[in-house]
Structure 1
């Protein structure tokens, strides 16, 4: 098997037998997740060449220290006009890209076909590119629509029309806005879901924005896909998996990716800020690890509230936060917590290694899907402060369905709410015991799924067959 870290794999220089085109959505964690999938496929199929279409900046980031004989990056336009000045509008860069994406990808496929000397035999794409189903149909080839997140958010988008219709019926023809706090049970696979926790663009927010429209069209078209792989494991959402399996072709749970890559390779980044050695000095299950990813940023007053709650509760903490945000801390906070050894603030932490350390007792997170899977894989309960996208529905699942964490009271950090959440998850009372009793079995099931012949391993073999054996 190929070393996923280096991509080195020698097939003896033989000519590729098939050509698979890959379309990346060049934002957030989407490109690296799709590349992780393609690297696995390329390793399993050394005689297949994968052309990887992405924007120049994103491709540079992905391929700067990686190469593989059968993965070839191709650049497409990001849609940003020369000299363009961003206006600060929501999803501005995404909207500019979406305006040119289909035309750019169609042109690029022709370039890659001529360059590689083989017609495309399969499309493997980020599921956001709903129009790639039309392209696959025109070429009479399989369409693999990869969903980077969980079954819960995919289901919400798949059932958007049903949700909008049923929500209108609840209003009985009035012009009122649906009650955001209403819990409904009409979405297949969900025992119940609060309307306000549906992803933005399904029922609330700007339903006519280019991005909301893209997600709506994706939900309407994804049943045409030849296969729909997702970064999850069957046992996490058995009801949702059963329902989506009945509605979609080859609905395949092939994750968690974080467990697969960690099993195959040692950590690729050095712990340059000595997070692990600091954790060695802490008591088991006592430390709050705090990180909101690279995109989400709590407001300044929320950062202050977290810091105050940590000090008041004397909770040891490891906080990964960009240096610019540290200016919002109250004077003396960093010095006091560093001096007494109760806190460590770093600009970057090796998150998977940190979560796996015995000292970590809770993960304070935005509830992004990667972070959720990493926390489950390590058996660490969560305190969630969702911001956008699938984070709301992930948080609903964490608190209400899986019972492995809590949502921050009121939806944003206050000193009182943060203190309450920390005490609930870290104290040695019934709440902590119940969460640990819930998350430990999920951790075990996640690890079992990615073992040889586990459910995710079997689903991945099915995916390889779809990608490599179609005419």
Structure 2
């Protein structure tokens, strides 16, 4: 696959092949590839991930996918332990990526000019040094969770002895620069709570120590959302670039899956701002008793709803719930919904969510308030931000859905009296800032141009 005559530079892209990390990184690569058609991008991930991302290899243009080994022995069945697949991948990742780069350089006939990586792949900084090329890292979540990882040592130094202390998770600290307050229990597991020696926690800690070496760090956000955090992280990192929200700028938005369950046409018959959209992403599923609590609250409050819930989880809903709510037009339960299109519809008045970063940003960009029920990872700190810092959400009482708590949360966001007015005003204000950020000369627009300059240099024309 000789490309030297047509292409000026060769950028290697390392994906962390789990959850939403690869498609998010690829969405940025596609934007870069469009902005720099004379640059070839080698995209490295596992075979399973690449099969999903590149179903038709003939339409990739100047992006070429390369498979690397996932670390699973042949015929190995995952035992279901948390992060087992991640740990096995990390055990082989460094050598696999090195081998992949050598193969791609030989295949394409050009040396690598830049390494663009998922931030979790911290070890690739050494490879960038060996190759004497820029090392550019992508943080897939928000500035808040990046900051808590970066200041892990500072947090541990102050709270080293608190593990196991009663009620300490509810302590609110102002220790993290740029973040006025945060509840300790909402900081990601592996920083001060949980197994601090696990491979995942070790990976995140090492990442935090290496990131200041990056030529640039880019995130899916807009700097007006977190001005104080952005200012602080810009002081400790080189070229800290917010280039989102991705759902407002990605060309892949128009190529999303068809609305096979007619969600949008169903919404057309609903009053503006009256419908609760419920979705917990592709991984998080509330336990059966919480699904029941949500269903009972929806019927009790007569709240119109669109609920994206996998078929195998629908069996846990109360007897007759699906039939009753379908017949009376109160709700619609589907196995999958086109989330961005749904959130942008005027009928949606609240998003009931796990608080994953993509969902949070999509909700903000659509001007939809949230009800958050976080599960793990960065979801708790995201929930803290949307409720306590930005004031655009309610968080479920006690950390899990109950019928009464869900009724109260729905009422607090969807009510037509003054109690929800401030939430809706703040949500609209952030939506306006998000849209301005991606417009020509907006902050995200300018930051993306900087990213192009760092990654491809003078080969963007």
Category of TM-score, reference length = shorter chain: over 0.9
Number of the residue aligned with 1:23: 14
User: For residues 18-58 of structure 1, what are the alpha-carbon distances to aligned partners after superposition, in whole Å with 9 as ceiling and x for unaligned?
Assistant: 11100000011000000001001111111111100000010
Q: How do residues 31-50 of structure 1 correspond to structure 2 at under 5 angstroms?
A: 31-50=22-41
**Whole-Å Cα distance in 1 between the matches of residues 352 and 439 of structure 2?**
29
**Whole-Å Cα distance in 2 between the matches of residues 94 and 181 of structure 1?**
30
Tell me whether 1:413 sits opposite 2:401 in the alignment. yes
Per-residue deviation at 1:328?
A: 0.4
Number of the residue aligned with 1:6: none
Tell me whether 1:275 sits opposite 2:263 in the alignment. yes
Instruction: Figure out how many residues of one structure are paired with residues of the other and give that number.
Output: 456
Per-residue deviation at 1:205?
A: 1.2
**Whole-Å Cα distance in 1 between the matches of residues 56 and 413 of structure 2?**
40
Number of the residue aligned with 2:200: 211
Tell me whether 1:149 sits opposite 2:138 in the alignment. no
Per-residue deviation at 1:439?
A: 0.8
**Whole-Å Cα distance in 2 between the matches of residues 450 and 425 of structure 1?**
28
Q: 1:382 aligns with which of 370, 375, 386?
A: 370
Number of the residue aligned with 1:5: none
**Whole-Å Cα distance in 2 between the matches of residues 350 and 288 of structure 1?**
15
Per-residue deviation at 1:226?
A: 0.4
Contact 2:4–2:108 under 8 Å retained in 1: no
**Whole-Å Cα distance in 1 between the matches of residues 419 and 377 of structure 2?**
28
Q: How do residues 22-101 of structure 1 correspond to structure 2 at under 5 angstroms?
A: 22-65=13-56, 67-101=59-93
- Listed as ranges, the gaps of 5+ residues in structure 2 are none
Contact 1:124–1:145 under 8 Å retained in 2: yes
Q: 2:98 aligns with which of 106, 115, 127?
A: 106
Per-residue deviation at 1:325?
A: 0.4
**Whole-Å Cα distance in 1 between the matches of residues 126 and 91 of structure 2?**
17
Number of the residue aligned with 1:167: 159
* TM-score normalised by the chain length of structure 2: 0.96
User: For residues 96-140 of structure 1, what are the alpha-carbon distances to aligned partners after superposition, in whole Å with 9 as ceiling and x for unaligned?
Assistant: 111111111111111111111111110000000010111111111
Q: 2:450 aligns with which of 443, 462, 471?
A: 462
User: For residues 381-414 of structure 1, what are the alpha-carbon distances to aligned partners after superposition, in whole Å with 9 as ceiling and x for unaligned?
Assistant: 0000111111011000000000000111111111
- Listed as ranges, the gaps of 5+ residues in structure 1 are 1-11
Tell me whether 1:347 sits opposite 2:335 in the alignment. yes
Q: How do residues 70-469 of structure 1 correspond to structure 2 at under 5 angstroms?
A: 70-168=62-160, 176=165, 179-261=168-250, 266-469=254-457
Aligned Cα root-mean-square deviation (Å): 1.7
Contact 1:121–1:470 under 8 Å retained in 2: no
**Whole-Å Cα distance in 2 between the matches of residues 417 and 23 of structure 1?**
43
Contact 2:4–2:110 under 8 Å retained in 1: no
Contact 1:141–1:470 under 8 Å retained in 2: no
**Whole-Å Cα distance in 2 between the matches of residues 155 and 61 of structure 1?**
31
Partner of 2:323: helix, strand, or coil? helix
Contact 1:76–1:105 under 8 Å retained in 2: yes
Partner of 2:75: helix, strand, or coil? coil
* TM-score normalised by the chain length of structure 1: 0.94
User: For residues 408-460 of structure 1, what are the alpha-carbon distances to aligned partners after superposition, in whole Å with 9 as ceiling and x for unaligned?
Assistant: 11111111111111111111233310101111110001001001111101001
**Whole-Å Cα distance in 2 between the matches of residues 154 and 224 of structure 1?**
15
C-alpha spacing 1:122/1:267, structure 2 compared with 1 (3 Å): closer
C-alpha spacing 1:252/1:354, structure 2 compared with 1 (3 Å): same
C-alpha spacing 1:331/1:176, structure 2 compared with 1 (3 Å): closer
**Whole-Å Cα distance in 2 between the matches of residues 271 and 354 of structure 1?**
10
**Whole-Å Cα distance in 1 between the matches of residues 233 and 78 of structure 2?**
39
**Whole-Å Cα distance in 1 between the matches of residues 230 and 185 of structure 2?**
23
**Whole-Å Cα distance in 2 between the matches of residues 433 and 374 of structure 1?**
21
**Whole-Å Cα distance in 1 between the matches of residues 191 and 398 of structure 2?**
22
**Whole-Å Cα distance in 2 between the matches of residues 73 and 402 of structure 1?**
39
User: For residues 179-211 of structure 1, what are the alpha-carbon distances to aligned partners after superposition, in whole Å with 9 as ceiling and x for unaligned?
Assistant: 111000010000101001111111111111111
User: For residues 228-272 of structure 1, what are the alpha-carbon distances to aligned partners after superposition, in whole Å with 9 as ceiling and x for unaligned?
Assistant: 01110010000000000011000001101001126x863532211
C-alpha spacing 1:470/1:15, structure 2 compared with 1 (3 Å): closer
**Whole-Å Cα distance in 2 between the matches of residues 300 and 183 of structure 1?**
31
Contact 1:18–1:47 under 8 Å retained in 2: yes
